[in-house]
Chains A and B, each alone.
Chain A
Amino acid sequence: MAQAFRVSDLTGIQVRPARLWTHSLSWILFVMGIALYVHFSIVRHRENPEDRVIPSATQLVQGLKASVLEPAEEDDPLDPGASLFQQVRHSMIWKDTASSARRFFIALLLLVPAMLIGLHMAVFPYAGAFFLRFVLFFDKIVALSLLPILFIVFGIDEWSKIMLMVIGVAPTLMLDAYNIAGGVPREQVVKAFTLKSTNLDVAYRIVLKQVLPQLINSVRLNLKPLALFLFAGEMIASTDGLAYRIAIMRRHMGMDIIIPYLLWVALLLFSLDALLRFTNRRLHPWYQPR
């Protein structure tokens, strides 16, 4: 039978909170954040009803509506009789999301070979000897400092931003893949060879299959750095994208647009993370995270 809650339980290590408690506690900080925002918004709007720094709920709804249903300033206006679908399809947020997502997923795709290199570094000693020192050094280069070089080499179009993301995250992913694959017990590799595996069998059918869930987790942890480099690239040189819009709105003090964009980006990353976590669980029912 569940024990009654005692205040001293809050600092206990061996306690097992009831499900209701866990859920309630997990929402408290959200509620507090919203409450603080509303409080400061009311205070500022009492002093200045036109305040744009902490927009009111009405301003936020208007900003959200403008983002979701109206085209960007630089685009042609829509016909007044356009359907809701057309309005969303040509909206500012849709256009920016599509541009950022394209860059993001191309970069993500280019990171797959990076992880495979990390895997090969762990499995094949000569590959390890060839890459490891260089990757360790390259990992220490601050990717943003390469931005001018990237602009010179790739121009200010898409590829410079994509390469910034790839260069920023690839060494970390490589080293992560190297460490994860290196952690596969030696006994497994030896056993695989006694079961007539070839070198490639061991690399792809034994090691890669075993470490894939951990590699997906590694990608999940690197989603934010990836988005960070995307935002850096878009804020510096871009004509569309979520970060571009936030940078433009900053000039106009458009917090009513910036806040919905910020929450939208967080929601997108959260959803992608959840999708990867779900996929990992479904694809690898055998995986037992430590």
Chain B
Amino acid sequence: MVSAALRSVERPFEAIAPHSVPRRTEIELRDVSLSYSAGKEGSKTVLSQLNLKVAAGEFVVVLGETGCGKSTLLRLILGQEFPTDGAIEVDGKPVTSIDARCGYVPQKYSLFPDRTVLGNVMYGPENAECRLLARLRPSFFAYRRKLRKEARAYLVRMGLRPQDMDKYPHQLSGGMQQRVAIAQALLMHPPVLLLDEAFSALDPSTRASVQEQLRGVWLESKPTVVFVTHNTAEALLLGTRLILLGRHREERAGETNLVLDMEIPASPLPLGLRMNSREFQELLEHVKELAYKSSSLCMDDAIADPIVEEGNLA
């Protein structure tokens, strides 16, 4: 599998056969391209001819150097931006605007500062269940009590203590905020969960702990996850499938910048132990090599940003 992936890196801008998935397709991108107007320089292509099918329950991690379109890919799936060419479907329906089909955890500003932890987590389900006038009915209070219990249970599972429930986001550490943000998104039971470098601002130990929580929640309820990260080790630890994007080169018009699409071998080991295993370290070295090779191939005149942050492995 690794050698197949290596072969694909040797031909990084040739279209890669879509990943074969036996399950129901949750996210589908067909020939998606996105270009921006770049003033006098004409236009700048960020994504080109991208074809991707993500099955329900997959945990897809997206790696790539800075500016290769990882976050853009996420924004396209989310409906925050629209492709200049191609089509995107989520849960079988075309994406036309941002809606509750996708849960979203950004890197920063993930919580509403004016709400407590519980208020943040309960905001979505309350919205989904009761519009403004429905909140005057007595049944709303019963619903709210039930929801509060469920929200507390989610938060406890994400590692929050009961005394943290009534705190405001500014009173929490970065790691706790991200845990709440994940609980906030998960309580909506979205078919798709999108995380945009959600752990990059966390210190290594907090990061490892939040990774563990996320992995646990994913194993339990199996939402479809698309996780954008810079960290190769994190990508290989968490994901079931790795997507590597390269920077688009204008002279290779019409070619995709999807460099690699590979399955990550499953492991029965817990994350902490898995990271120290020989197989994992080998895989990590291989992917680092692929990533480095792809970024070298993508380099124009400038030096490409390194993808793999050697000192920042969780």
Contacts from A to B (Cβ < 8 Å): 185, 187-188, 190-197, 201, 206, 209-210, 284-288
Contacts and interface: CB of A to CB of B under 8 A. Distances in A.
A288 B172 CA distance: 13
Contacts, number: 66
Given A187-B110, A194-B188, A201-B127, 17 more contacts: A187-B108, A188-B112, A193-B97, A193-B98, A194-B78, A194-B99, A194-B102, A194-B190, A195-B188, A196-B99, A196-B124, A196-B188, A284-B114, A286-B113, A286-B114, A286-B115, A288-B170
A285 B119 CA distance: 14
B309 to A, nearest CB: 23
B109 A188 contact: yes
B60 interface: no
Given A187-B110, A209-B114, A195 B123 contact: yes
8 contacts: A187-B106, A190-B106, A191-B110, A194-B102, A195-B188, A197-B127, A206-B112, A287-B114
A213 to B, nearest CB: 9
A197 B123 CA distance: 9
Nearest to B131: A198
A106 B225 CA distance: 54
A285 B114 CA distance: 8
B104 interface: yes
Q: Main SS of chain A's interface residues?
A: helix
Interface string B140-178: 000000000000000000000000000011100000000
Contacts of B104: 190-191, 194
Contacts of A284: 114
Contacts of A193: 97-100
Nearest to B100: A196
Nearest to B106: A187
Contacts of A196: 99-100, 124, 127-128, 188
Contacts of B127: 195-197, 201
Contacts of B294: none
Most buried by A among B97, B114, B190: B114
Nearest to A194: B104
Contacts of A285: 168
A187 B109 contact: yes
B106 A194 contact: no
Interface residues of B, number: 28
A47 B90 CA distance: 90
Contacts of B109: 185, 187-188
Nearest to A185: B109
Contacts of B80: 190
B294 to A, nearest CB: 29
A210 B115 CA distance: 9
A195 B100 contact: yes
3 smallest CB-CB distances across A and B, nearest first, come from A195-B124, A185-B109, A193-B98
Nearest to A210: B114
A194 to B, nearest CB: 5
Interface string B29-67: 000000000000000000000000000000000000000
B98 A194 contact: yes
B67 to A, nearest CB: 19
A69 B302 CA distance: 82
B112 A210 contact: yes
Most buried by A among B109, B128, B170, B185: B109
Given A201-B127, A286-B170, A194 B100 contact: yes
B103 interface: yes
Most buried by B among A187, A191, A285, A286: A191
Contacts of A192: 112
Contacts of A197: 127
A190 B105 CA distance: 10
B184 interface: yes
Nearest to A284: B114
A194 B95 CA distance: 13
Nearest to B190: A194
Contacts of B110: 187, 191
Most buried by A among B100, B104, B112, B169: B112
A188 B109 CA distance: 6
B193 to A, nearest CB: 10
A209 B114 CA distance: 7
Nearest to B123: A195
Most buried by A among B78, B127, B170: B127
